[in-house]
Structure 1
Amino acid sequence: MGQKTIKFSDKNGYRDVELDSLPRNVRAAVTDMAAKNPVASIIVDQTGMLYRIHLTEPANVYLDVLSVA
C-alpha cells in the first residue's frame, strides 16, 4: 500500500494515524481496498465498534467494517 496518510475520525475529531494503530481486520480492509483502487487519501470514521472506510477520489468507495476482539 505504501505510506498513505490515514485520517482517523472519532468523537474527538480528525487526526492522522499510522495504519498499524488500527484493529487487525480494519487494517486488512484498508490495505486490500487501497491496493485495488486508485486513491488520493483514506478516511476512517469510528463509531463504537463500527469503522467506515472512505477512499477519496477518484475511487470514492465506502466500506463498513465491524471490529471484533
Structure 2
Amino acid sequence: MAHADDRDLVTLFTKALRKLGEAGQPEEASMLGGQAWWALKDTDPRGAERVNGTMHYLARLAADPTARERD
C-alpha cells in the first residue's frame, strides 16, 4: 500500500512525463514511464495504473503530434 507522499510523487512524475511528451519527446517519456510502471506494479498498483494512463496519453502524442492540440 502506498503512502500519501508516494501518491504525490506519482502525481508529480506523471505531470513531468506529460510535459516531456508535449515538449516533443513522447518516446523518451514513455520509456521512463515504463520503467516507473515496472517499479510500482507490485508495491503501488494504483500508482502504476496512473503511470499506465499517462503512457496511453504519450502513445497518442507519438502517433499524432497534433493530438495535444485537440485535448
| TM band (smaller chain) | 0.3 to 0.5
TM-score w.r.t. the length of structure 2 is: 0.32
TM-score w.r.t. the length of structure 1 is: 0.32
Find the structure with the greater CA-based Rg: 2
The answer to which structure has the higher strand fraction is: 1
